[in-house]
Amino acid sequence: MTTGVRAARAVRALRVLRIVRALLLAAGLAVIGYGLSGLLGDPYITDPSDVLVWAVGGLVIHDGLWVPLLCVLGAFVVRGPVLRGWLFVAAAVTAVGLPAVLRADEDHGNPSVLPLPYLRNWLLVLAATAGVALLVAFAGRWRRRDRAAGRRGPALGRRDRAVRRREPRGDRS
């Protein structure tokens, strides 16, 4: 391919990208405008400032409390990719399951809402995922031991070795 063809192709790609961006921007602004006018004009939402308070509150709690907590834990307490991975899984399962655990007794007289033993199930899921994480950790340790012993085994592919060489070990938050 000549450089001329390549340059023409790059120019075309940039033009396409520009058009896509303009369309996305116009569509996005229109959709925001529609949502905002709907939220402010909805007859059932008598006080839209309530929604604003909850939206800003969520932002402040997430960005001002939750993520800083994660960063501090990641930087000073929690080490190793497997433990981190399990904590991520546990946090996700908790975010989804904790409301059910907290509300397990409140079905408003409808026994088919929240019918399960949620506290037990939540602990069960945490234990099961911890078990999987332990297996992953042991598998990693055995693989490393194999490699240290023989420097041959099927431990790492070419790609992984390349990764190991290139990057520093520091993995803090």
Partner 1 sequence: MVPGRFDGRVETEPADSGTPAPRRRYDPPLPAPPAFLRRGPLREGTFTSPLHEPRTVVVVGRWLGAALLVCFLTGLTSHLLQDPPGWLAPHLPARPVNGYRVTQGLHVISGLAAIPLTGAKLWAVYPRLFEWPPARSVLHALERLGIALLVAAVLLELFTGLLNTLQWYPWPFPFRQTHFWLGWLATGGLLVHLAVKAPLIAAHWWRRAAPALAQRRAFLAATTAAVGAVTLVTAGQSVPWLRSLDLLAPRRPDIGPQGLPVNRTAAQAGTVTVPADWRLRVDGPQPYELTLAELGELPQHSVELPIACVEGWSASARWTGVRLTDLVRRAGAPPGSAVRVTSLEASGPYRVMEMPATYVDDPLSLLALRVNGEVLAADHGFPARVIAPNRPGVLQTKWVARVEVIA
Site for partner 1 in 7-26 (CB under 8 A): 10-11, 14, 17, 20-22, 24-25
Please tell me whether residue 124 binds partner 1 under the rule CB under 8 A. Answer: yes
Residue 59 interacting with partner 1 (CB under 8 A): yes
Closest to partner 1 by CB, 5 vs 106, is: 106
Contact between 70 and partner 1 by CB under 8 A: the answer reads: yes
Between 31 and 148, name the residue whose CB sits nearer to partner 1.
31
| C-alpha span between 84 and 99 (Å, rounded) | 23
Residues of span 84-103 touching partner 1 by CB under 8 A = 84-85, 88-89, 91-93, 95-97, 99-100, 103
Q: How far is the CB of 150 from partner 1 (least distance, A)?
A: 21
Provide, rounded to whole angstroms, the least separation between the CB of residue 138 and partner 1: 16
Within 125-154, the residues that bind partner 1 by CB under 8 A are: 125, 129
Q: What would the DSSP string read from start to end of the chain?
A: --HHHHHHHHHHHHHHHHHHHHHHHHHHHHHHHHHHHHHHH-TT-S-HHHHHHHHHHHHHHIIIIIHHHHHHIIIII--SHHHHHHHHHHHHHHHHHHHHHHTTT--TT-TTSS-S-HHHHHHHHHHHHHHHHHHHHHHHHHHHHHHHHHS-SS---HHHHHHHHHS-S----
If one asks whether residue 112 binds partner 1 (CB under 8 A), the answer comes out as: yes
| Distance separating alpha carbons of residues 147 and 153, to the nearest angstrom | 6
Minimum distance from residue 5 beta carbon to partner 1 (Å): 16
Task: For the CB of residue 134, give the shortest distance to partner 1 in the complex, in Å.
Answer: 14
